[in-house]
Amino acid sequence: MDSAMRGHPYVKSPLDIACWDILGKVAGMPVCELLGGRFGEDFALYRAISQAAPGEMAENIAGYREEGYRKFQLKVGGVADVDIERIKACAEVLQPGDLLMADANTGWLMHDAVRVVNAVKGLDVYIEQPCDTYEENLSVRQLCPLPFIMDENIDNLAMVLRLYNDRAADCINLKISKVGGLTKARQIRDLCVSLGIAMNIEDTCYVTVSTADGAPRRFNGRMAAPKAPGLGIQPRLDVLGEPVLDVGV
């Protein structure tokens, strides 16, 4: 696809994933096994904590812990002073084994990011994508004693190598659609494993699958990869309706 059209990873991603689904169904293997093997019977999920008052966000962590979650991603990136209080309030309710990430989603300017980092540097928290550009985040990273995650800037293999050479982060968020599908996500995953870069592997959230049966379900803060061939799902043709395009071979 790259030889026919440059860029547009979000367009290419569903086509790439569909090819893996077809390969898995033909081979009689789940996609997770085609990609290298099943990572245990299930795996832990993190729970995003939407922006709210500091005390309310801390209460939400306690509530989600009762549902089985132990990893929490705070949505910050607003007013720095308020974000500092949000992080402190949520850190206070953590229990042993919990993991806390403060995700600014590019929302801070560099001076605010440095203020937040300095204010919470004694806490057990990861700082995620504080600023917009790679260069801005690298500047903040060089002043940050806390574990550092990059997300929006990491969209191809070359950026991972640049991040590693610059020591720009300890972890990345690897979003499948952002890099163009499972083929490129697998390349980035394998490179990160070789280089010792930790990963959150995820994709677009807040989506309900209503056009297929068999999608994985969350249970007790965890999820398991399907064991059926391919993606383990079956399209609901009655919902999808007639094809909008029929391509002959």
Q: Which residues are catalytic?
A: 75, 175
Question: What distance in Å separates the CA atoms of residue 178 and residue 69, rounded to the nearest whole number?
Answer: 25
Q: Which of 199, 182, 225, 167 is nearest to 37 (CA)?
A: 225
